[in-house]
Structure 1
Amino acid sequence: MEISELKKWDVVDHLRTDEEMAAYFDASLDEDPGDGSLIRAALGDIARARGMTSLAKDTGLTREGLYKALSVNGNPEFTTMMKVIKALGLRLHTAQG
């Protein structure tokens, strides 16, 4: 019997293109319960997929500060979120309905 090694699933492994990242971010906006937790998590995942070091350079924030702000227990200021969104090349969308 062959033994398989299992790897923990990580969404970052599936965020390869700008389109995939944008779709993931849009889904987080749609599904967020109103506290920003899904948006923050999605931004953290996309940041890890793109590279936290380059994002830190692009935002003017530290790598450690980004990890902390975008972590499960993070509580980033809106200005931080907007810096991250802009540096990742993402946009917020609104729709009425």
Structure 2
Amino acid sequence: MTVRLALRRRAAAAIAGQGVLLGATHALAVGADRETLGENAMILPLTGLFIGAVLGAYRARRHGGGAADMAQWGAAHALALGIVGLFVLLLLSRVGA
């Protein structure tokens, strides 16, 4: 059985109400309501990026760093908290909150 055939069968099962879903993007593809994921769902990773950048710059400044240090620490913290925000988004979309 090819991958396409397997995906078609799963999509048909989801449409028929048997509860077989591959995830959030699949739920949207088979016509699930967009409100289940929230229209502003991407705000979590973006908030993590912003808070991480501010927190990293603050920590670099507190340790006596210059502008380059604040930019580097801000970027590192922004990436870390952005990834945390992405995982929270994935968790919430899987749970269905």
TM-score normalized with structure 2 length: 0.31
Which structure: greater helix fraction?
Answer: 2
Bigger-Rg structure (1/2): 2
Higher relative contact order (CA 8 A, sep 6+): 2
